[in-house]
Amino acid sequence: MVESKSSKPEANKENADPAKEMEVDEEEEEDETAPSKVFTIEILRVIKDLQLQHGLRHGDYQRYRGYCSRRVKRLRKTLNLPQGDKRHFKKRDVTLANLERENSDERFIHIPLMLAERAWAYAMQLRQESNTEPRKRFHLVGKMRKATVYALQLQELCNSEYCDARTKLEAEAYSAWIHGSLHFELSLWKQAAENLKKAQMIYENLAQALPEEEQAVYKAKVDELTPSLRYCAYNVGEKGAINLLEMRGQGMMDNLSALVAQTKTESMEAFQTTEWRGRKVTVRPEKVRLFLLSIQDLANSIEKAKDYPAKIELLENVLLDCKDAISAIKDEIKQDPKLRSSSDSGTMTATQYLLTYLSYTRLKLTLERNLFMVAQGKLSLDDPNAPEKVQIEGKKTKPQDLSRLYEIILQNVTEMQQLPGMESDAQYQAEIENLALSFKSFRCYYIAITLVALKRWRDAVAMYERSTKYASQATASKKSVCADFDLQDELKRLVQTIEGCKFSAHANSVLEDDTTEESVLYGKSTKSSKPLFERLSVYKEDSSLNSRNPNVFK
């Protein structure tokens, strides 16, 4: 029975399709070769943050060394990687086997990093004390050698397939810096210059490949290495210094370009960049990225909308998404203490610039919605200055309704002028000022129409003149026209319309004055508004009493 059971699967294997078997084998091989996780560790940023938080802000290397020891102890306990028990010591280094596990953790890589930092911090502490005790210099060199051993362990782990290109570059730069520091202490100037220059070049290329907000720490490290390199170049000699600058051409860092390109590609895939007014910023929050992608085809969607209510509804939905994106950016600023401190100090970070851009986008979308509401109101406006009278069904729009809408639009423009970080941008302020003049011109025009309906001709003429003045100022400066709202053609048509309206209102004003004079001549004077006790000496002749049958009380 056992033989018959085993023969069936063998028969099935013989009848199986060989092509399918090859595909299955290839898939299994891919699954075996592909790493389960790929870690990204920002080594330089991690150690800089820890150094500033644990003593190095004040040059206290002993405190930082103690923190590194405690951190290693906690990591080994958490990751279940003890070195023996309380009585017996058994050394256990982190190896690739620890990273190959299914439940592997990137904190395994932090152990050799913290050990290297502990040895380096001890060496720097001894360097401070070696001024008074020369014997400690030998101890210093021993600790630096120990730091290089742990740095090589770190580089070996990071060069595996379980770490991405950025981590490999950072580990290589860190190891080169530690080795350069050791050679610097040993006065091996040529080797020190080679390693320090290698670290500097990697950090320079990383700064170029990464987003703007992550570049500061790498640029600071590049500047930090410059004095040591100058001292090495001085001791090596001028010719040696020139040769060191040509290291890249000599093939010492052949894989640097490939790793930097891979890092740049990964950072571009992880984050989307957007550009506004000549500055590129990286978009981290998912909500913001989705919102920026959704408004790329917004203009086409608005054009396809059948009428103004549909366009207004579409913009209102987009405005809700924009407010959610702004909330996501504000939450990120609240959670990051660095961003909060920079906002208090007045410096404009990339995240805060992105918040300003989103606020501008919200105000721009609000303006577009309000302009569509104005256009919708014009369809049902009973305009006395319109060349053709249109039969309007339903509720009519009053001119004062449109003037109120333009008042709201001007409030939005004022908010645009006060956006944080844009106060010093002269071109931006000129564009927004030009936009404000344009909308003021339209508002004055509709106020004038309202005054015409009230037969206040002189006030209407004054408002027409003010509208013409604003429109002329807006059209005069073509360099400061806002690209998002080009109203030049509408302003020119408005000026032409006002020309006729102004003369019409002036003529009506003159006719009203003539009618008043004629009524006074023919005795048809209007009733005086003065009280009776002020005009007791004034005689007023009532023409109705001069007739044959006067209407008097008997």
- pLDDT at position 28, please? 43
When pLDDT is cut at 50, 70 and 90, the band that residue 118 belongs to is very high
Please list, in sequence order, all residues whose beta carbon lies within 8 angstroms of the beta carbon of residue 361, skipping any fewer than 6 positions away: 295, 322
Q: What are phi and psi of 422, to 5 degrees?
A: -105, 5
Q: Among the listed ranges 161-165, 211-215, 220-224, 292-296, which one has the minimum average pLDDT value?
A: 211-215
- pLDDT at position 358, please? 92
Q: Which of 469, 453, 466, 468 is nearest to 505 (CA)?
A: 453
Question: 322, 331 in Cβ contact below 8 A?
Answer: no
Residue linked to tokens 């027409």 = 464
Question: 488, 475 in Cβ contact below 8 A?
Answer: yes
Please state, in angstroms and as integers, the Cα–Cα distance from residue 328 to each residue in 378, 383, 449, following that order.
Answer: 38, 45, 45
- pLDDT at position 290, please? 84
pLDDT at residue 445 above 80?
yes
For 178, the token pair is 């530690």
Question: 142, 169 in Cβ contact below 8 A?
Answer: no
For 545, the token pair is 């009493």
Please list, in sequence order, all residues whose beta carbon lies within 8 angstroms of the beta carbon of residue 496, skipping any fewer than 6 positions away: none
- pLDDT at position 387, please? 56
Residue-wise pLDDT tens digits, 30-78: 444 445 578 888 999 999 999 999 989 998 999 999 999 999 999 999 9
pLDDT at residue 414 above 50?
yes
Residue-wise pLDDT tens digits, 20-29: 444 444 444 4
For 442, the token pair is 């339209």
Please list, in sequence order, all residues whose beta carbon lies within 8 angstroms of the beta carbon of residue 336, skipping any fewer than 6 positions away: 351
Please state, in angstroms and as integers, the Cα–Cα distance from residue 177 to each residue in 24, 123, 235, following that order.
Answer: 46, 14, 19
CA angle 278, 281, 286 (to 5 degrees): 140
* Letter string b/e over residues 495-518, b meaning 16 or more CB atoms within 10 A of that residue's CB: bebbeebbebbeebbeeeeeeeee
- pLDDT at position 252, please? 46
Q: What are phi and psi of 505, to 5 degrees?
A: -65, -40
When pLDDT is cut at 50, 70 and 90, the band that residue 363 belongs to is very high
Residue-wise pLDDT tens digits, 152-186: 999 999 998 888 888 999 999 999 999 999 999 99
Beta-bridged to residue 84, according to DSSP, are 89
* Cα 370 to Cα 220: distance, rounded to the nearest angstrom: 47
* Cα 280 to Cα 221: distance, rounded to the nearest angstrom: 23
Residue-wise pLDDT tens digits, 250-265: 444 455 666 666 666 6
DSSP output for 194-254: HHHHHHHHHHHHHHHHS-GGGSHHHHHHHHHHHHHHHHHHHHH-HHHHHHHHTTGGGTTTT
* Cα 263 to Cα 39: distance, rounded to the nearest angstrom: 13
* Cα 334 to Cα 116: distance, rounded to the nearest angstrom: 33
When pLDDT is cut at 50, 70 and 90, the band that residue 220 belongs to is very high
Amino acid in position 353:
Y
For 454, the token pair is 């009230």
Residue-wise pLDDT tens digits, 476-527: 877 778 888 888 888 888 888 888 887 787 777 777 655 544 444 444 455 6
- pLDDT at position 511, please? 73
Question: 249, 155 in Cβ contact below 8 A?
Answer: no
User: Is the full-model pTM beyond 0.85?
Assistant: no
- pLDDT at position 1, please? 35
Mean pLDDT of the 416-444 span: 90
pLDDT at residue 342 above 90?
no
Dmax over CA atoms of the chain, in Å, equals 144
For 164, the token pair is 């991405």
Q: What are phi and psi of 276, to 5 degrees?
A: -145, 125
When pLDDT is cut at 50, 70 and 90, the band that residue 410 belongs to is very high
Class of residue 376 by CB neighbours under 10 A (exposed 0-12, middle 13-18, buried 19+): middle
Question: 148, 182 in Cβ contact below 8 A?
Answer: yes
Residue linked to tokens 């030049």 = 488
Q: Sign (positive/negative) of CA torsion 482, 486, 489, 492?
A: negative
Residue-wise pLDDT tens digits, 288-337: 888 888 888 888 888 888 888 899 999 999 999 999 999 988 888 888 76
Class of residue 441 by CB neighbours under 10 A (exposed 0-12, middle 13-18, buried 19+): buried
What residues does each domain of the chain span? Answer: 43-270, 271-379, 398-549
Q: Which of 193, 92, 204, 187 is nearest to 144 (CA)?
A: 187
Question: 143, 178 in Cβ contact below 8 A?
Answer: no
- pLDDT at position 9, please? 43
pLDDT at residue 388 above 90?
no
When pLDDT is cut at 50, 70 and 90, the band that residue 280 belongs to is confident
CATH fold of 43-270 reads: Hyaluronidase domain-like (1.10.3450)
- pLDDT at position 153, please? 94
Coil vs helix vs strand at 540: coil
* Cα 277 to Cα 275: distance, rounded to the nearest angstrom: 7
* Cα 112 to Cα 122: distance, rounded to the nearest angstrom: 15
- pLDDT at position 34, please? 47
pLDDT at residue 188 above 50?
yes
- Please give the residue that has the higher pLDDT: either 253 or 379: 379
Mean pLDDT for all residues in the chain: 80
Percent of the chain at pLDDT exceeding 90: 30
* Cα 109 to Cα 94: distance, rounded to the nearest angstrom: 8
